[in-house]
Each structure stands twice: as C-alpha cells, then as structure tokens.
Structure 1
C-alpha cells in the first residue's frame, strides 16, 4: 500500500528516479567499504592496534573480496529465486551488522571474519543492483541509469578518502581513529534499507514468476500507459520462450550460445580487474608514501584520486548513451595501460627525487580518469545487458564472482609485491595484463548499445547458435 501511495503521488519519471537513487545506495556502500581501507590501513598496522604485516595486511584487504566473490555468485541466484528487492533489503541489514563488527574488531581474526561478511553484502549488491536497474529502465535510458550505480561506487570511494583525510589529520594521535573511519558506512546501510522499502519489484522478475498482473502494474508506475502495455507484451513473449524460468541453474549454460555469452561476461569482468584499478583504490595511500609523500600528505593527496573518479564517472555516464560500448571500453583500456606504463618507467627514472611523488600522483589521477570515465561504467553495464531474463541473475552473479576472485588475488598480492619487487616492477606486470585485456575486448566483446534486453536475447541466440552450427559443419567436413 505504501509503495502504491508513493507511486500515485509521483510521475513515472520521478518514481523511476526514486528507484534509481534508492537502489544505488548499494553502490555507495560498495565504494565506501572498498575505499575506506585505503586510509585506515596505516593506522590499523600500528603495533598498539592490529599490528599488521604485509601478509596480514593483504589478508584483511582480500577477505572482503573473497566474501564479495561468494556474495556475487549466490546473490544472483537468490535474486532469481526470491526477487531483487527482497534480497537487496536483506543485504542492507548485513551491511549494517558487518560495519559495526569491523569497527569494533579487537584483533586480526575478528576483523577478517567481519570483513568476510561485509564482502558477502558488497558482492551481493554488485551482482544485483545493475541487473535490477537494467530491468527497471527503458531501453533508451538503460545506459545512463545503470551507470549511475558506478557513479555511486566512485562517490562512495571519494567520501571514504575525504573522511579518511579529515580523521587521519585531525585525529592522527588517536591510534584507534581507523574505527571511526569504518563505522561511518553504517549510515548508507540504513539509507539503503529505508529506500528499498518504497521500491517495487522488477516487472521482468514478476512476469518470469507468473505474476503477470503485478508486473503490468509496476510497468504502469514507471512508464507511460501505452509504453507499459507494449513493453509488457515484449516481456511476456520472452517469458514464453523460457517456460522454466523459475528453475534457472548452471545447467542452462549448456546451450552453446549461452555458454559463449557467459564466457564473454566473465572475460569482461576479469578485464576490469587486471587493469590494476584496485591496487590504486585500496593501496593508493601506500603507493604515494612509497613514492615519497608522508602519511598525512598522502591521505590528503589521495582525495585527488577520489575527486577525479567522480568527475570522470559523470563524463562517462554522459557518453555511455551516445557512444558504442566496445570502442569506449577499448579507449579506456588503452588509457589505463599507458598510465601504468609511465608510472613503471618514471618510478625507475625519477627514483629518490622530489618530483617522483607528484609525477606518480598525476599519473594515478590520469589512470583513474580513463578507468572511471570509461572502463568502469561500460563493464557493469555490459554485464547487466548480456544475459537473457531466464539466467540474468545467475549469469551476472557468475561474472561478478570472477571479478571479485581476481580482485581478491590482486588485493592480497599487491602489498607483498610492493615489498619484494618494488613499485616499478609491480606496475610493469599490470601493463602486460592490460595489453591482454585490450586484445580480448577487440576480439570477443559484442556491441549491446541501443537495443532492448529482449532484442539482445534474440540477436545473441541467432548469432552464437549460427556460429556453433557453422563450426560443427566445418568439423564434420
């Protein structure tokens, strides 16, 4: 009743805006929880606090990422079974409880356990919010609406860097200042829960579950009447092709065309991480300290990374509805790889000079401009668009699972690599991986811009089924 009351007082456009803002608080939590450790780690590592070594530092960082991989995998399946809205509501509660647990952690073991739980919520949100937004958005606005979640992610990271700098400078003598940094993320968790109380369920999910009247009612609340009726017919046709939509499982990917799409989704997710973005997002303060800044100066300078991420993401959202996904992603990857190459070179050439920290800061800012203005928005958008309704939740979940697994490997190994082979050699590794990512996108990723989700399903089915048939005929000959 409360949902309907809200809808009656709002136009379809404003109600859709409310849905987007409410759901993307999950992205804000994703960003803050992954970014806050950037400034908290130096204080947590102190002997009178958690006394972290490079290995336990990597463990504290990667525990969230391992949890996120698990949350992404099972979150998609739970969303397919119980609905997007209900699952996101439960995630909000998990965010809140885990945030309190990490802030109060007395030792590394407890910290790792609650970071793992926090990761479950982060991963679940990362796999559920973009598909939910994609299912609610009209085709012509889907790109911008889904990528608003990316804006909230980088906005959350920016807020984390700002609060880290404020608390780190004003409370530097307070050893447990990191606890204040961590507890702040309880606030957006509460906002996410309250916001989702007034958000309806996805009409595509309702139709897939046989709740046709409810699906049409939701569409009428977020579309003009004629548009709602025509879109409802499209959804019904798609559901008829997937009569067992409620039984979606890994077995569905046995179909050659779906298997191909799943591999593409996994590949796009992995490419996002091998850019090395989270070496900067998680360890930006340490990188700046390694290049020559003091700890407090690094905390303040790191705000520049957060600020450029937000600005670049806004630019990316503007272009994502005007430029095709594939070339936009390739341009972004060329920019990130070149930036890391220059960091690796100058870390050698300018080692020990006063100029090095400022050069590294300017190049990390350049890297993030390409990453958050292109690679990040396109990655989440393509993952949300690739999969047909029947397997959208599980397909996105599996793709994001691999994203978080690679993220965890990088999060764990980066401080160890930094301490053993140094800044320059570490970034040369990421340069090689970046070149591999450019090749994959150029060779394998299809274009998804300008088509409804149902049209994409028909196109992919025809394209990849025909490829498989042609391959079988060639092998038989």
Structure 2
C-alpha cells in the first residue's frame, strides 16, 4: 500500500473541492472595491437602496442555495452539485463584469449567491465524506482557510486593479470579472474529482465507493470505512423514520438549539460582514485617500487570514469555547473603537501642512514675496 500516495491524493482532491470556499470568499469581498465605482456608472446616489441590494444580493441567493443544496446533493451527488456551483460562480463574475444596468447586475449577484449557498454546504460535506479519518479534521479546515484566503486575495486584487486601471468606468468590471478565472479552473478540475463514497453507497454502488476509498486510504481503510458508512446509513435511516420537526424544537433540544442558533446568529449580527462588504468605502470615509483605503482593506483581509491560521493552530490546544470568548471580546473592542473614531474624528490644518501648500501654489517669480505675506497672515492668528 502506497500510504504517501494515498495521502497526497486525498490532499489534492480536498484542495480542489476547497476552491469552492476560495470562490465563496472572493465573491463576498470583491464587491467592496467595485461599489465606489459602479454606483457612479449606474447613476446611483449615495445612500440608494439599490447600492445595498446590489451588495447583499449574494446573501439573498445564498439563502436559496442553502435550502436546495442538501436535497440536490442527495439526489444527484456531491460532484454534480459542485460543478453547478462553479458554473454559477463563473456566470456571476461574467454577468457582473458585462452588466449595463443595475438590475441585471443584481440578478447576476443573486445567481452567484446560489453558488455561494450551495458551496458552503456541499464542499465541506464532500471533503468530510472522502477524506481518511486521520486527515479528516485537517482537510475539512482547508475549506474555511480558503474562504478567508479568497477574501484576502479579493482585497489585494481590487487594490492592484484600482491602481493600474485608472478608467473608473471599467476598473470595477475588471475587479468583478477576474473572478471568472478561478471559477473556470474550479469547473475544469472538478471533473477529475471522484464522487463521494457515502453517496455511492446510498445509491447501491458499493464497488465504486470501494474504489474511491482504496484510492484515498488503501485496502484496509477502504474495508473499514465501507462498513462504517453502511452502518451509519442504516442508523440514520432508522433515526429519521422516528424523528419529526416537533422533536427538533422539543424541550430536550431547547438548550442545544439556542446555543447553536445563538452562536451563528450573533456571529453575523455583530456587523463584521458590513465592514468586509464596504471596507474601502469605510476607510475612505475615515479620512484616508482612495489608494490608502484600498491598501487598508488589503491589510484587513491579510489580518483575517493570519488570525484564522492562529485559530487553527490553537483550537485543539485551547479549546473551542475560550477561542469564541476571546474572539467575541476582541470583536467588541474593535467595533467600539471604530464607532468612537467616527464619532470623535476631527480634521485641522496645521502650520506645517499649510507651509507645504503655499510653497506649491506660489511657484512664480514672486514666490518669495507670496510666501512672506502668507507667513505674516498665518502669524496674525496669535492676535
């Protein structure tokens, strides 16, 4: 048995599938850099509800994608659904880049959101069902890591494009259209990925499932995993036959439901997504220039990526709960400081700054006299 070869194969197919997470993060963050430019092209005034809808349209689509992803993955298989998500990501990138009006732009974003919602569910499901047990935890984290990597790359891509493509009528098209490249790569590579062994067993295709399991973990792993999959499916079938929606919301499940829903809800309601979606605009409003705002957004994405790596390194050592508490406290402090900075911010012109300005505007034969007069006027403030 070639153990290293088996492991390499598992890592490769997990990385391919985790590209869905990369596209998810990229599509979510790339809009932040495009918004300041396309709102002018579409003639949208600042504060228009259509700006908010164009940004949040991907979330609306993601809700629908979440709802249909499970049933579609169970009926048609994980691999076909992932291929569809790649197509939806590509359509979104191309549609947004070519949009001539805001309504088509929003429709393209909603369609991309369907891919986001499906990828959130199916990509980690596929990795978990295909990976060997010893590598499963690590490989599943590839998807989450790729999400924050996609966010970071989107910010850096936006920064590079806004610096190199100076025409504001088309630079936002490049920002959004560049997402077509990873979508095409994802679409092509998925054809070389096997189907989930668990899904194959559910369809009665045990020989196909066994072949996949042998490839990812060897003969011993394949036989053991196949037996566990069959036992798990039988157990699930028995459990589902006696489970109703009412039992999910019963008193016995009340605490679990509150904790699970609460963590997910408060993670989103904190407002951190608003910062991710509007980062360059927020930094520019805080007083920086446009170029500086895009660079600061890139630093934000890089910080997010680094801290995700830190969390991955500490999660088994410190535990889930302490990291959640630390993260929540840090997020609270950061958001309070951000709000306070906007509330108390003020801008003044200093003598040193004014001296530079007057030197620049007095470039003439009499610039010495002009500077002398300006200095005298500046000194009168003491009176």
TM-score greater than 0.5 by the shorter chain:
yes
Q: CA offsets per residue over residues 372-425 of structure 1, 9 Å max, x none?
A: xxxxxxxxxxxxxxxxxxxxxxxxxxxxxxxxxxxxxxxxxxxxxxxxxxxxxx
The structural deviation recorded for 1:264 is 5.1
Matched, 1:134 2:125: no
Count of aligned positions: 346
Structure 1 gap segments, 5+ residues each? 1-6, 355-477
The SS at the match of 1:45 is helix
| Cα separation, partners in 2 of 1:291 and 1:345, compared to 1, 3 Å | same
Of 161, 180, 200 in structure 1, the residue corresponding to residue 174 of structure 2 is 180
| Cα separation, partners in 2 of 1:53 and 1:29, compared to 1, 3 Å | same
Greater displacement, 315-324 / 226-235: 315-324
Aligned to 2:69: 75
Q: Is the 8 A contact 1:143 1:317 kept in 2?
A: no
Q: Is the 8 A contact 2:3 2:218 kept in 1?
A: no
Of 62, 85, 90 in structure 1, the residue corresponding to residue 56 of structure 2 is 62
- Residues 213-292 of structure 1: matches in 2 within 5 Å? 213-243=207-237, 254=247, 265-292=260-287
How many angstroms apart in 2 are the aligned matches of 1:180 and 1:142? 37
Matched, 1:37 2:31: yes
Matched, 1:301 2:260: no
Greater displacement, 345-354 / 253-262: 253-262
- Residues 183-222 of structure 1: matches in 2 within 5 Å? 183-222=177-216
Aligned to 2:5: 11
Of 146, 156, 167 in structure 1, the residue corresponding to residue 150 of structure 2 is 156
Matched, 1:125 2:119: yes
Of 320, 325, 332 in structure 1, the residue corresponding to residue 327 of structure 2 is 332
How many angstroms apart in 1 are the aligned matches of 2:210 and 2:262? 35
Q: Is the 8 A contact 2:159 2:295 kept in 1?
A: yes
Instruction: Choose 1 or 2 for highest CA Rg.
Output: 2
Aligned to 1:314: 309
How many angstroms apart in 1 are the aligned matches of 2:192 and 2:318? 33
Higher-RCO chain (CA-CA 8 Å, sequence separation at least 6)? 1
Q: CA offsets per residue over residues 452-477 of structure 1, 9 Å max, x none?
A: xxxxxxxxxxxxxxxxxxxxxxxxxx
Aligned to 1:51: 44
How many angstroms apart in 1 are the aligned matches of 2:257 and 2:7? 33
How many angstroms apart in 2 are the aligned matches of 1:119 and 1:132? 20
Aligned to 2:100: 106
Greater displacement, 223-232 / 13-22: 223-232
The structural deviation recorded for 1:322 is 4.1
Q: Is the 8 A contact 1:27 1:125 kept in 2?
A: yes
Structure 2 gap segments, 5+ residues each? 350-383
Under a length normalisation based on structure 2, what TM-score does the superposition of the two structures give? 0.82
The structural deviation recorded for 1:144 is 2.4
The structural deviation recorded for 1:186 is 0.5
RMSD over aligned CA atoms reads: 2.8
Greater displacement, 252-261 / 104-113: 252-261
Q: CA offsets per residue over residues 60-116 of structure 1, 9 Å max, x none?
A: 011111011111111122112211111101111122122211111101111111111
Greater displacement, 17-26 / 327-336: 327-336
The structural deviation recorded for 1:153 is 1.3
The SS at the match of 1:197 is helix
How many angstroms apart in 2 are the aligned matches of 1:138 and 1:49? 50
Q: Is the 8 A contact 1:43 1:49 kept in 2?
A: no
Q: Is the 8 A contact 2:3 2:217 kept in 1?
A: no
The structural deviation recorded for 1:262 is 6.2
How many angstroms apart in 2 are the aligned matches of 1:191 and 1:253? 44
Under a length normalisation based on structure 1, what TM-score does the superposition of the two structures give? 0.66
How many angstroms apart in 2 are the aligned matches of 1:236 and 1:135? 13
How many angstroms apart in 1 are the aligned matches of 2:185 and 2:253? 37
The SS at the match of 1:346 is helix
How many angstroms apart in 2 are the aligned matches of 1:265 and 1:207? 30
Matched, 1:171 2:156: no
How many angstroms apart in 2 are the aligned matches of 1:262 and 1:205? 28
